Structure 1
Amino acid sequence: MGADLTTVSLSLGSNIERYRHINRGLNALEAAFGALLCSPVYESEAVGFDGNAFLNMIAAIETEHSLSEVVQILKNIEDQNGRDRQGPKFSPRTLDIDVVTYGNAAGELEGVEMPRPELFKNAFVALPLADIWPDRMVPGRTLSFLELWQQEGNHRQELRAVEFRRDRTL
């Protein structure tokens, strides 16, 4: 790890042409940031609206970019994958990519709450982070990602691990 690089975790989700859009998102992230550390992929029911089930996962990157620069890159990737920003907040998504953690930032950073509050609410964020970083400490907390999942995870949200194959041709 380079001295000037920040480790960032990203939550990816899709419930429209799910496998295609998750693959396209991963390919675009890899092109923008280099190597990815990827969690298993989980299927979960839509939260906040009636809709098709989502595929969700976490991808971790290392970057020199600021949080606001990372967020802009993610919005561009979402837009390139047909993201509709005109609909309601809770609605079907071709591709949704959110920063969950940015280094060890805890609290407001560049106008964004870190870690992202969804980490503490949604199993499809907490469990994949526990998968890739079981022993890493949650920024601003005195417990690891695995302990967070075990002690505070939303176990009412049903997750199903699904087989997922990377397709770098999309």
Structure 2
Amino acid sequence: MWRGVPVETVLAEFLDVYMPSPPPARERSRSIAEYVRRRAAQGALGSWTVHLIGRAAAAHAIEAAGHLIGLARRAPVGPVSPGGIYTVSRLLNPGDACKGLDADQFASAMEITRSRAAARRSRREGDHDAAGTQPHLRLPTTYAIQEVRRPDQPLLTIYPLLSPSRTGKHQALRS
């Protein structure tokens, strides 16, 4: 993980050169880069935390920034195209989304998460006093994290992914 990465570096070395597939995703990537430029011109998003996440015991790895990074596996949802393009249900791990938050922000995000969970439970069960504890909630939701993250705390999380074609079987991704 790198902290204090200048916005110019994030743009030049990642956002401007990242080419996701399929083509509509490339347009979204360009839109994100333009948004970052506009916000940087307004004095926001100047110093980034960049988190490159890999698997420690991965069979496949890449070298990035002088480090060997194990490729993450994500199970495809639906078919994998001949070009290896596939959809995943969840890419971002909520624990990774917490990177860069201070202890107060994490606590606030947890409170937001618990409060919303209690409200959902109350609506579902018709219980108007359902604000009890949820011991099973260990991490805040990504929505709660987004609410507490300040504009001066941009986070770029990168997961190098193992292509399903590298495993030979889709089932191998589910392990």
More helix by share: 2
So what's the TM-score if we normalise by structure 2?
Answer: 0.26
Q: Which has the higher strand share?
A: 1
| TM-score of the superposed pair, with normalisation by structure 1 | 0.27
